[in-house]
Amino acid sequence: MSSLFSLLLPKTFISFRCHSVTRLRSSVAARTMSSQSSQRVFQLRQDPLTGNSEWIIIEDNDQPGASTDGLLATTSYLDMLNDSRRNRAYRLAIEKTITEPCHVLDIGAETGLLSMMAVRAMRGKEESGDSKGMVTACESYLPMVKLMRKVLHKNGMTKNINLINKRSDELKVGSDIASRADVLVSEILDSELLGEGLIPSLQHAHDMLLVDNPKTVPYRATTYCQLVESTFLCNMHDLRNNEAKTSDGVRLVPPGLESLFGIKSQQYSMHVDAIEKYIKLLSEPVKIFEFDFWKRPESNGELDVHIEAITAGSVHAIISWWVLQLDSEGTIFYSTAPRWIDSNSEIGVRDWCDHWKQCVWFTPGAEEISISVSHIFRK
């Protein structure tokens, strides 16, 4: 999914194109690699020189006696499990979506939380103790699989959940799973929404693993953006110009590398609430695009968005976030919006968390700006 925005400002016409090829390519490349010889986990890292963010693969050969605590500690699993608002939203949506015993597929099962929610939802809807429901959970990271097995044993659900140590695109109906799944539950989102290999995973699931017109949790996601002016925000990412204003004579920017230390037209994930008083809003929030989990996504796309400024100023950056609609009726939501965005009663007040942030797209000094935010899947 790629996005093309047209921003209409007083006396100014700004257009920018979005690409996120780098991060998605990293995820796609990892998906073509076998998980049999060694185990892998995705980890988001940022290059301190260029500021570019990308998903890298950490290899773990799982040697006998080797501790995996270090690798698990570097992931965002603990932070996600402590996000009680996220957990509650998923639980309510799963209980509402699963109306009878069925086959549920959990992609990227992690600790098994969503799988266990599905089992509990079906237990409350079984007739005469006759259980026809089943949950298939796939998780490619072996240390997490081992942890999930312990969690399932502790909760007495080892017989209810078929845990498979594979990526979802390695699963085959007839060998790994008995039949196509009626319901898909998943949480493979990042701050950009689509950067964690979501599109190819859903494409394969809809093609090979799910029934026609499946139920899904989440149901839909919508991304929004807002134009802002913030000298403070720019200065946080502009060592070159900040250094030029100092009088101590100390220079940290090497000659010939000035472009690496200035503001760049790229995306940064960060908590903007902490610097709200340094941000001037230049537009109302505007919807960028919707993404439906319940239908097969396209590999790429393009759209136009027009944004009208509500006050004069310089567009230093665009802040984006997403709202997750977890049920088909539109009553259960989760949002990564900044706190200055009014939340409805269903979303509630957002707890602080580090696994999902807002995204800031800088627009340094030009009337025609090209920002990298694309979602193009290439096999």
The model's pLDDT over 304-353, given as tens digits with 9 standing for 90+, comes to 777 888 888 888 889 999 999 999 999 999 999 999 987 654 455 566 67
For domain 83-218, give the CATH number: 3.40.50.150
CATH 2.70.160.11 location in the chain: 3-22+221-362
Mean pLDDT comparison of 54-58, 138-142, 264-268, 298-302, highest-scoring range: 138-142
Q: How far is C-alpha 4 from the chain's CA centre?
A: 20
Output 379 or 214, whichever has higher pLDDT.
Answer: 214
The model carries a pTM of: 0.76
pLDDT higher at 172 or 9? 172
Q: Range(s) for CATH 3.40.50.150 in the chain?
A: 83-218
Mean pLDDT to the nearest integer, 200-209: 95
CB 219 within 8 A of CB 140: no
Fold of 3-22+221-362: Hnrnp arginine n-methyltransferase1 (2.70.160)
87: left (phi over 0), alpha (psi -120 to 50) or beta: alpha
Rounded distance between C-alpha atoms, residue 311 and residue 37, angstroms: 57
Q: pLDDT value at position 204? A: 95
Q: Is 187 annotated in the active site?
A: yes
pLDDT confidence band for 235 (50 / 70 / 90): confident
What is the reported pLDDT for 183?
Answer: 97
- Which is catalytic among the residues 110, 187, 192, 229? 187
At 36 the pLDDT is: 46
- Measure the CA–CA gap between 262 and 253, rounded to whole angstroms: 10
pLDDT score at 314: 86
pLDDT for res 141: 87
Pairwise CA distance, residues 70 & 74, whole Å: 7
What are the backbone dihedrals phi and psi of residue 322, each rounded to the nearest 5 degrees, phi first? -135, 155
Say whether 361 sits in a helix, a strand or coil: strand
Q: Tell me if 161 sits within 8 A of 112, measured CB to CB.
A: yes
Mean pLDDT of 128-145: 83
How large is the average pLDDT for residues 284-290?
90
The whole-number pLDDT of residue 248 equals: 61
Active-site residue, selected from the candidate residues 95, 139, 192, 196:
196
Residue 192 is a catalytic residue? no
160-187 per-position pLDDT tens digit? 999 999 999 999 999 999 999 999 999 9
- Give the CA count within 13 Å in the CB-facing half-sphere of 120: 16
Q: What is the pLDDT of residues 92-105, one digit of tens each?
A: 999 999 999 999 99
User: CB-based contacts of 4: which residues, under 8 Å, 6+ apart?
Assistant: 15, 16, 17, 18, 302, 303, 304, 305
Tens of pLDDT, residue by residue over 211-229, are: 999 999 999 999 999 999 9
Name residue, tokens 């185990």.
Answer: 39
